[in-house]
């Protein structure tokens, strides 16, 4: 779980950096929709320089000597990696024997339902408007006429994101995935509703100088609850409910669906603002947060502390009966 938090945090922070240089306006829709890619690439490129392929890849392609060198590089020059390398080779061979196809994914009722739940979670993740908030952070504060400078607001949002990710990595195994997703959906809705209400009165030329801090508070609460729930947890739940033999196929489908939807939402945002106004667009995102909360409550199983078999049984509606005699106390 912490690795997912770190990966998400690095990507989101690079997006925030790019948003600082993204102007607001219909004439720059193409630039604003794609300019976040360059900072993301530039921030990840130095990390990959001099880094070997993974031992798993080398073993899967029958290059054991290179796999040993890669694992030695990862563990350090003075570490004996023989046992770990042999165990990893057995795991790779076992995975290759049991690797599933797309047909295996859709032929099982439990796998189909796990795939649909995973796609539903990442769909609501994007429909909550997170890409818009990250890509247009500075522009949103500028357009809202916040009492603080847009650049300072963006910096504060980035700091809040870092702190929330640190807290979230500790909470997820204590509180559980489902409860964090539910809390996240509720507070994201409240934040977006408040932000939409601010823009509703702003569009009607009300004097909002006394509450110029409200957009910042709304966005900060939105970011905190997103990072604690709908940011990393859809990927965590996907990894825990998909069977191992079809995880690579299902994960590829979910990822492609997620980022396609992300592109569509961010591409349409400025056009929707021009057509509907900022208030209605943020309320639309808030509506999707309400639907997301209902979806989690009704469809998403709790995966904390449960085996894959238990999760799969729940997905197909199997309820294991407990023997009442097991609960009797011996006197």
pTM above 0.85, yes or no: no
Tokens (6 digits) for 331: 């006197």
Confidence of residue 13 (pLDDT cuts 50, 70, 90): low
Confidence of residue 322 (pLDDT cuts 50, 70, 90): very low
Q: What is the largest CA-CA distance in the chain?
A: 80
Tokens (6 digits) for 91: 């795991």
CATH, range 104-317: 1.20.1250.20
With left for phi above 0 and alpha for psi between -120 and 50, is residue 180 left, alpha or beta? alpha
Residues 6+ apart with CB under 8 A from 11: 40
* DSSP-H helix ranges across 145-277: 150-175, 177-203, 214-228, 233-241, 247-276
- For 90-149, the pLDDT digits (tens) are 888 877 777 777 888 888 888 899 999 999 999 999 999 998 888 777 777 776 666 667
Domain ranges, ordered by start, for the chain: 104-317
- For 200-249, the pLDDT digits (tens) are 998 888 887 888 788 888 888 999 999 999 999 999 999 999 887 888 89
Q: What whole-number distance in Å separates Cα of residue 3 and Cα of residue 1? A: 5
3 state DSSP class of 15: helix
- For 147-185, the pLDDT digits (tens) are 667 777 777 777 888 888 777 777 877 888 999 999 999
Number of Cβ within 10 Å of residue 256's Cβ equals: 10
């Amino acid at each position: 779980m912490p690795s997912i938090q770190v990966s998400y945090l690095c990507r989101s922070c690079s997006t925030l950096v790019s948003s600082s240089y993204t102007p607001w306006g219909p004439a720059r829709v193409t630039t604003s929709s794609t300019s976040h890619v360059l900072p993301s690439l530039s921030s990840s490129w130095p990390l990959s320089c001099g880094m070997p392929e993974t031992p798993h890849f080398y073993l899967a392609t029958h290059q054991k000597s290179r796999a040993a060198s890669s694992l030695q590089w990862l563990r350090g020059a003075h570490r004996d990696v023989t046992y770990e390398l042999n165990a990893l080779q057995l795991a790779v061979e076992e995975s290759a024997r049991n690797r599933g196809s797309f047909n295996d994914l859709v032929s099982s009722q439990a796998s189909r339902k796990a795939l649909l739940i995973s796609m539903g979670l990442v769909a609501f993740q994007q429909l909550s408007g997170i890409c818009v908030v990250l890509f247009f952070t500075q522009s949103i504060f500028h357009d809202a006429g916040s009492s603080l400078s847009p650049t300072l607001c963006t910096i504060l949002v980035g700091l809040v994101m870092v702190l929330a990710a640190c807290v979230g990595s500790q909470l997820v195994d204590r509180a559980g995935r489902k409860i964090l997703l539910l809390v996240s959906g509720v507070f994201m809705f409240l934040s977006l509703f408040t932000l939409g209400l601010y823009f509703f009165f702003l569009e009607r030329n009300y004097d909002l100088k006394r509450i110029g801090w409200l957009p910042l508070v709304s966005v900060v609460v939105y970011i905190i609850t997103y990072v604690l729930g709908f940011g990393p947890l859809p990927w965590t739940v996907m990894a825990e409910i998909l069977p191992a033999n079809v995880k690579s196929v299902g994960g590829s489908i979910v990822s492609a669906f997620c980022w396609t939807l992300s592109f569509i939402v961010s591409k349409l945002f400025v056009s929707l603002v021009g057509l509907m106004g900022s208030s209605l667009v943020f309320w639309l995102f808030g509506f999707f947060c309400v639907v997301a909360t209902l979806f989690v409550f009704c469809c998403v199983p709790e995966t904390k502390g449960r085996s894959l078999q238990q999760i799969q049984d729940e997905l197909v509606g199997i309820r294991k009966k407990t023997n009442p005699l097991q609960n009797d106390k011996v006197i």
